[in-house]
């Protein structure tokens, strides 16, 4: 029960941050805001996969997909913060 509540809070926060990143990108057209937008959307997808895996009806191992999405999110965060 508590895992589901935490997952929902994480989803809401990630979607909110994706929305803020979208507004920032529309106003500034900065590439960093676009990277953040994609990173937060991937974080939402990752969390949905993890949450669905908590349900009993998904029996597949999703660790490879979740791990790949975590790496992509971290790379996008690094790209957004990297100063060129």
C-alpha triplet 59, 12, 64: angle, nearest 5°: 30
Mean pLDDT by 10 residues, the chain (84 residues): 86 94 95 94 90 67 83 92 74
pTM of the model: 0.83
HSE-up (13 A, CA, CB side) for residue 8: 5
Confirm if 75 and 28 have CB atoms less than 8 A apart: no
pLDDT the model gives residue 18: 95
Q: Give the domain ranges of the chain.
A: 2-81
The 3 state secondary structure assigned to 7-75 is: HHHHHHHHHHHHHHHHHHHHHHCCHHHHHHHHHHHHHHHHHHHHHHHHCCCCCCCCHHHHHHHHHHHHH
């Amino acid at each position: 029960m508590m895992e589901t509540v935490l997952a929902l809070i994480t989803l809401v926060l990630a979607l909110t941050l994706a929305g803020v990143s979208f507004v920032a990108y529309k106003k500034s057209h900065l590439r960093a805001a676009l990277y953040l937008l994609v990173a937060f959307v991937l974080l939402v997808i990752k969390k949905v996969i993890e949450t669905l895996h908590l349900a009993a009806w998904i029996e597949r191992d999703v660790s490879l997909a979740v791990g790949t999405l975590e790496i992509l999110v971290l790379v996008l965060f690094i790209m957004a913060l990297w100063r060129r």
